[in-house]
Structure 1
Amino acid sequence: MVIENIITNVKDMENKLEDYHIEKVYLESSDLLKRIQRVTTDHNREIGIRLKDNQELHVGDVLYQDDDNLIVIDVLPEELLVILPRSLKEMGDIAHQLGNRHLPAQFEEDSMIVQYDYLVEELLSSQGIPFTRKKRKVGQAFRHVGHSHG
């Protein structure tokens, strides 16, 4: 089976998910950005993905649907640093330092989330910036932005 378009996302479905047998495709978050890949569901079904029109995968995307079954994208948990700055200045300082390292970040409420890196962990510890190290799923891929200093 080759998938060329995302049907919908489970959060946009009108039918109840309990009405379906659900197979999941578990990906690394970085794989959400790949338009062409071969994957295997948690039921050992091999699927080719060849998305058109610069589409990206998101958690909950439905790759296949019939009356009884869904094949849905999910991500694997990964090691993260959840940074909890106490002030806008502290947030700006750490964001600037991480930006100089071209480290992609995500933001949720009052926290900044980055992929685990022992050097960043040491930086946060040395500057006394509150953070926690957690293994969890992210809703979207960490996107590296192309940039040059010249």
Structure 2
Amino acid sequence: MSTPQRIARAYHDHGHHDPVTHLALSYEDRFLRRKVLTTSDGASLLVDLPQTTSLDHGGVLLLEGGGEVAVIAAPEPLLQVSADDLTRIAWHIGNRHTPCQIEAERLLIKPDHVMADMLARLGATTCEVTEPFTPEGGAYGHGRTHSHAH
């Protein structure tokens, strides 16, 4: 494998300059420490962060030697959830520590047939969509939610 053209060893949750390029990554792919990725302009980028980090949509990786690479949430398969009592449905999703994007008229979660069955039993309607996934952060407003095994 060839040596990456660019190296990023730091991350910020927002940019300060126009990015030189961007990375479109799924929710799962935005959780990393060290990996070689391909940017939108086709260049290799070695991400080598000091610790495993949750990269947010709109954040930037800082390049050695200057420049920023914007992080974009890539479209991915999701389950759209709607219901008359969306607050109640959101509680049940949260009670299962499931990452959830909360909007006024709908919720978005990763596809899961067990969750879909539970939601249907609670009176929710679900349908498959493909969109960027930007779920709410953890209990303190950042980071990832975890299963009970955390």
- Which letter does structure 1 place at the counterpart of 2:25? L
Tell me which residue corresponds to 1:108: 103
Which structure would you say has the larger RCO, counting Cα contacts within 8 Å and 6 or more residues apart? 1
Out of 10, 16, 23, the residue aligned to residue 5 of structure 1 is 10
Q: CA RMSD in A?
A: 3.4
In structure 2, runs of 5+ residues without a counterpart are: 1-5, 138-143
Question: Structure 2 vs 1, CA of residues 93 and 113 (structure 1 numbering), >3 Å: closer, same or farther?
Answer: closer
Tell me which residue corresponds to 2:80: 82
**Matched ranges for 1:111-126 at <5 A:** 111-126=106-121
Tell me which residue corresponds to 1:23: 21
Which has the greater radius of gyration?
1
User: Aligned pair count?
Assistant: 137
Tell me which residue corresponds to 2:130: 135
TM-score normalised over the length of structure 2: 0.67
Question: Structure 2 vs 1, CA of residues 118 and 8 (structure 1 numbering), >3 Å: closer, same or farther?
Answer: closer
Q: Percent of counterpart pairs with the same letter?
A: 19
Q: Does 1:92 align with 2:88?
A: yes
Cα distance in 2 between the residues matched to 1:109 and 1:119: 24
Name the SS for the 1:35 alignment partner: strand
Cα distance in 1 between the residues matched to 2:115 and 2:51: 36
| Higher-helix-fraction structure | 1
In structure 1, runs of 5+ residues without a counterpart are: none
